[in-house]
Amino acid sequence: MNPFEMVVAIVFIIAIASFLRGRTPRRFRRWHEEVANDDAEKQRLREEVQELKERVAVLERIATDTGTNLAHEIEKLRDR
């Protein structure tokens, strides 16, 4: 390899490295935003699951009730 080819190869390697280094922060920012959005979505889903569990518990209590408080429990569900 002659000196001219070596200089061209070094310049080419530096250009590629600079290009890749310049793009990396944007990818990281985009990935970080996606992770943050996923965390918000996970929290919303956890809250929804908790609400659904509470409703199922009430429905189980109504289904196994002898009927004395059935009307009262149904009215409580309508108020939500």
pLDDT by position in tens, the chain (length 80): 688 888 889 888 888 887 777 666 666 667 667 777 777 788 889 999 999 999 898 888 877 776 666 777 777 777 76
pTM above 0.75, yes or no: no
How many angstroms separate the Cα of 6 from the Cα of each of 11, 48, 62? 9, 62, 82
Please count the CA atoms within 13 angstroms of the CA of 13 that sit on its side-chain side. 6
Which amino acid, one-letter code, is at 6? Answer: M
Helix or strand or coil: residue 67?
Answer: coil
| Domain parsing of the chain, residue ranges | 3-79
Which among 47, 44, 77, 48 is positioned nearest to 60, based on CA atoms?
77
